[in-house]
Amino acid sequence: MNSKATAVDEAGGPRHIFISYDPADSGDADLVQAALEAAGVRVWNDFADVRPGEIRQDRIRQAISGNALVFLACFSKASTTSVRSRQHEELTWAVHELRQRHPSLPWLIPVRFDDCMIPDLDIGAGRSLQSLSTADLFRADGHDELARLVETVIWILSRSSPGTRRRRPTVNERRSGGGNLAAQIFQRQNKDFGKGRERLNHIPKDR
């Protein structure tokens, strides 16, 4: 399976960030996952958390339409030209969920691993998936863009979690927060997004 979800513990039950990607992009998805973990977010994935006897497809759909606070849709030239991929089904479920959500708070975030074309999917209200701003991790300043993505996710979590102040973090908070950890991981790995598809075997954790 080619999906990950990062879970945070709340009084109302586990909520998570769902990462959808094509198998060809597993190494890049691992780096995004590591950056989220460095920001203090625990990772759940279907390989480890779908119990024997459970229907994997049902669990993945529930993870998207049930408790997902953010859906990261990761794209590359490999994924957008793939004829058959489980990611296509995940995007269908995600678009259905997005159409039911209030547009004031971001939920579906397109992430690009290389200079690919985002699929022109209808997401309702006269909008297309291409109309959403993307996190372009393949650029020369990719570590900064990864940090910005992590910061955005943390901000969305703060808006979605009860009892938290609903504001964007200050510049100083962003510099000292999880996004900075994401940049450190990017630099330590010395890896460019979209170049090579090797799976990362070891990711240093900042706790």
In a domain, residue 205? The reply is: no
In a domain, residue 132? The reply is: yes
pLDDT value, residue 104: 86
What average pLDDT does the structure give for the chain?
77
In a domain, residue 204? The reply is: no
Q: Report, as an integer, the average pLDDT of 9-30.
A: 78
pLDDT value, residue 190: 52
The domain that holds 156 is classified in CATH as 3.40.50.10140
In a domain, residue 135? The reply is: yes
Domain with 59 in it:
3-189
In a domain, residue 195? The reply is: no
DSSP 114-153: SSPPPP--EEETTEEGGGS--EETTSTTHHHHHHHHHHHH
Write the pLDDT tens digit of every residue in 42-92: 666 777 767 889 898 888 888 888 777 889 999 999 999 999 899 999 999
Write the pLDDT tens digit of every residue in 131-151: 999 999 999 888 899 999 999
In a domain, residue 154? The reply is: yes
Q: How confident is the model at residue 180 (pLDDT cuts 50, 70, 90)?
A: low
pLDDT value, residue 13: 46
Task: Identify which has the larger pLDDT, 120 or 201.
Answer: 120
Q: CA nearest 188: which of 172, 202, 207, 174?
A: 202
In a domain, residue 140? The reply is: yes
| Total domains, the chain | 1
Distance (Å, rounded) from C-alpha 197 to C-alpha 51?
A: 28
Q: Report, as an integer, the average pLDDT of 9-19.
A: 64
Give pTM, 2 decimals.
0.78
Write the pLDDT tens digit of every residue in 111-136: 999 999 999 999 988 899 999 999 99
At residue 99, does pLDDT exceed 60?
yes
Q: How confident is the model at residue 185 (pLDDT cuts 50, 70, 90)?
A: low
Query: What are φ and ψ of residue 62, in 5° steps?
Result: -65, -40
Q: How confident is the model at residue 203 (pLDDT cuts 50, 70, 90)?
A: very low
Using CA atoms, how far residue 46 sits from 12, 52, 99, 145, in Å, is 21, 11, 25, 27
In a domain, residue 93? The reply is: yes
